[in-house]
């Protein structure tokens, strides 16, 4: 009993030391603090990239006083011709330097036609529409920008409840079960938050959504039966109606606060086509580490179901079909959904072409 007691005391002391250490230094670049959505403000850092060959070796990353990537507002956000870009990792572009992300490059292109424009990047790594709803309610509606862009799709595939990245942002203690109670309680500690972030990264890796260096020249082929593909496609029906409801709620929140939402479909390297950079036929290329097994053709069919939901709101709000407009060229992507510097430049050019007439017309009306 004395040995068991000593072991328990040692574990407790170790946990306390870890909690104190994490309170002063969190190794994760995006901080989730004790169950609250916290956008780290006034940050500047340079970190080294040694694992993604298509990206720069030194990456300059900063967040302003609002917790966004971009310049400080020159006045109250609601008084400016303001645009805030909302999304997950494909908006935040964590491994792209500030000045090379597509939101920043887009701001430069828009300013040629709209000199008074102020644009910020509010992308949050790992967020799905659950996280976007929380961001809207806790941040965006307080700032009341004129417009927000919402690039969505990838993180909502087969998601009918908040993913761990999103759930970590919830403030409440969950009493639905002992497991949910323990997780929500543990998430209010630094150690618990760190553990759940590691768990979330593992889950994202299994879904093929984590940042990784994909060599499109050496991808293996995998042939999937029609029955297998049909079962995966059919499985999405259970998630799509809820996805539609969350988008409708985001639009409703925006309009209630005089914010004009602009929806953007998710581009990718999924599909049945020939990659113009490598001249490889992509349809049967296996998605690395995906669970369950999938290939580019099947994943395109799945993602397009979610993109179609976004497109269906075109009669209510401005929708930019980036998924259709973005070339499927591996020079623009370092994995199947994340962009290179050149990819960010291409996206900025496409979005500028789509948004300049729209913003000019709306701004003139106002």
pLDDT tens readout for residues 304-326: 999 999 999 999 999 999 999 99
CA angle centred on 259, ends 257 and 265, rounded to 5°: 130
Per-residue pLDDT at 148 exceeds 90: yes
- What pLDDT score does 30 carry? 45
Per-residue pLDDT at 291 exceeds 50: yes
For the segment 12-66, what is each residue's pLDDT rounded down to a tens digit? Answer: 788 778 767 665 555 554 444 444 577 888 999 998 999 899 999 999 999 999 9
363 vs 221, which has greater pLDDT? 221
- What pLDDT score does 194 carry? 57
**Whole-angstrom distance, CA of residue 239 vs CA of residue 241:** 6
Which tokens belong to 73?
């507002």
Which tokens belong to 323?
């998924």
Is-contact 348 109, C-beta < 8 A?
Answer: yes
Q: Averaged over 105-118, what is the pLDDT?
A: 95
Residues 6+ apart with CB under 8 A from 236: 157, 158, 302, 305, 306
pTM: 0.82
- What pLDDT score does 167 carry? 46
Q: 76-85, 113-122, 190-199 — which is least confidently predicted?
A: 190-199
Alpha helix segments (H runs only) across 33-149: 89-92, 102-113, 129-135, 141-143
- What pLDDT score does 364 carry? 56
Identify the sign of the CA torsion 126, 132, 134, 139: positive
- CA-nearest of 41, 33, 91 to 64 is 41
- What pLDDT score does 180 carry? 53
351 vs 25, which has greater pLDDT? 351
Identify the sign of the CA torsion 244, 245, 250, 254: positive
- CA-nearest of 218, 351, 332 to 269 is 332
3-class SS at 365?
Answer: helix
- CA-nearest of 268, 260, 236 to 313 is 260
């Amino acid at each position: 009993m004395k040995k068991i007691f000593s072991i328990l005391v040692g574990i407790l002391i170790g946990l306390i030391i870890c909690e104190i250490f994490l309170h002063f230094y969190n190794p994760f670049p995006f901080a989730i603090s004790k169950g609250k959505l916290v956008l780290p403000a006034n940050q500047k850092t340079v970190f080294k990239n040694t694992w993604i060959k298509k990206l720069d070796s030194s990456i300059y990353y900063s967040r302003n006083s609002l917790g966004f990537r971009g310049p400080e507002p020159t006045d109250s956000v609601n008084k400016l011709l303001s645009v805030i870009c909302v999304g997950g990792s494909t908006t935040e572009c964590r491994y792209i330097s500030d000045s090379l992300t597509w939101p920043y490059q887009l701001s430069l292109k828009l300013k040629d036609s709209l000199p008074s424009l102020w644009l910020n990047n509010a992308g949050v790594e790992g967020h799905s529409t659950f996280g976007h709803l929380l961001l809207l309610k806790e941040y965006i509606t307080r700032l009341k920008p004129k417009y927000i862009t919402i690039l969505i799709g990838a993180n909502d595939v087969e998601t009918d409840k908040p993913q761990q990245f999103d759930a970590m942002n919830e403030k409440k203690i969950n009493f639905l079960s002992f497991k949910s109670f323990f997780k929500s309680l543990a998430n209010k500690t630094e150690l618990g938050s760190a553990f759940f972030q590691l768990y979330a990264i593992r889950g994202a890796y299994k879904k093929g959504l984590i940042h990784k260096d994909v060599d499109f020249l050496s991808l293996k082929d995998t042939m999937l039966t029609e029955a297998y593909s049909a079962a995966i496609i059919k499985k999405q029906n259970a998630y799509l109606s809820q996805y539609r409801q969350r988008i409708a709620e985001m639009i409703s929140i925006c309009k209630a606060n005089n914010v004009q939402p602009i929806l953007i479909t998710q581009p990718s390297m999924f599909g049945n086509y020939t990659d113009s950079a490598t001249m490889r036929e992509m349809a049967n290329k296996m998605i690395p580490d995906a669970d369950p097994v999938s290939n580019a053709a099947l994943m395109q069919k799945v993602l397009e179901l979610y993109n179609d939901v976004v497109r269906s709101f075109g009669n209510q709000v401005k929708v930019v079909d980036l998924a259709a407009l973005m070339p499927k060229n591996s020079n623009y992507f370092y994995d199947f959904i994340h962009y290179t510097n050149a990819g960010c430049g291409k996206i900025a050019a496409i979005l500028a072409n789509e948004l300049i007439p729209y913003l000019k017309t709306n701004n003139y009306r106002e």
